[in-house]
Amino acid sequence: MRVRQSTLKQFGKCAKQYEYSQVLQLGGDQVGSLTVLGTVFHFAVDVYETYNYDIELAKRTFIFYWDHPEVLGEKIDFYHRGSSHNSLRQRGLAMLDRYHELAPWSKGKVLGTEIHFIVPLGDHELEGTIDKLWYRPGQRKVEVIDFKTGSFVPEKLRYNIQFTAYCYATERPEFWANVPGWEHGYVEFKGWQRQGWWYHARNNKMFNAGARGVEDYKRLLLAVEEMDKTIKAGVYPLDYSGESCGWCAYADGTCGSEMIDPTFIERPKLMLRPEEGTA
């Protein structure tokens, strides 16, 4: 089975949502303005890193694609409450300015941005895209940076499966074939520590996702193996907490529609004690 880190994340949040979108391919997803903001911001940062940290070019790139998202194959179906096209344009430009000024970037050397990979994981394949990869020679660390433009920051980044997947990929020789100029990176960085960082673009902060190692990669393989078993069994539990339902296109009407109408289910008759029998 080939699994993307994004679908693994979706499956972990709600397997039923995964079934509707990935297996049954029901469609119906509405794309919000903040999702497109993230896509355009990622693209502008890639331009910034590729063209010698030219912040003005990055900002012009952002403005063009924000005003013409269809060029990137994106569309905005709705704007989130309290936001507008112009206000989000200003937010994106401000995030780029803060990214340009962030001091920690001077402490490492960039290996690449928007790096797509497909690597083996047990009997499966793991696919994904790393936003930014860099290394710190003095600390012998290879670090994965994941850009986030929303307001949410997970509390348990140390066990975040997305960062585990990214770090694992960089440990594989197949990964480095897709990093221009670093085709021998597997050998050069063998034995170096892998670590993740969650870059929160809205408040310009870096959150440490922790280091990853063999035990984490075993847990990643377990997650994919269990996902594979569940798919083969055709069993897709829904998110019992309801936390992912607020952002799910299937929560209103689709989810549960295949079930029998509860009003048609025959209820068991009450068992009365002998003295409570009818006259």
What's the token pair of residue 1?
């089975």
Helix locations, 54-171, DSSP H: 55-67, 85-101, 161-170
What are the pLDDT digits (tens) for 33-45?
998 999 999 999 9
Could you write out the DSSP letters of every residue in 192-227?
-EEEEEEEETTTTEEEEEEEE-HHHHHHHHHHHHHH
The per-residue pLDDT for 210 is 96
Cβ atoms of 97 and 55 within 8 Å: the answer is yes
Cβ atoms of 10 and 238 within 8 Å: the answer is no
Average pLDDT in the chain:
88
Give the Cα separation of 119 and 203 in Å (integer): 33
The upper half-sphere exposure of residue 149, i.e. CA atoms within 13 Å in the direction of its Cβ, equals: 24
Mean pLDDT, range 142-148, rounded to an integer:
95
> Residue 4: helix, strand or coil by DSSP?
strand
276, pLDDT greater than 50: no
58, pLDDT greater than 90: yes
The per-residue pLDDT for 262 is 54
In the chain, what are the domain boundaries? 25-101, 108-237
Single-letter residue type at 268: P
Q: What is the largest CA-CA distance in the chain?
A: 92
What are the pLDDT digits (tens) for 225-273?
999 999 999 999 989 888 888 778 788 778 877 765 555 545 454 444 4
What's the token pair of residue 207?
């959150």
CB within 8 A of 88, min separation 6: which ones? 33, 34, 37, 66, 79
The per-residue pLDDT for 170 is 98
For the packed helices 161-170 and 214-233, what is the interaxial angle rounded to 10 degrees? 110
CA distances from 178 to 10, 150, 175, 210 (A): 25, 28, 6, 25
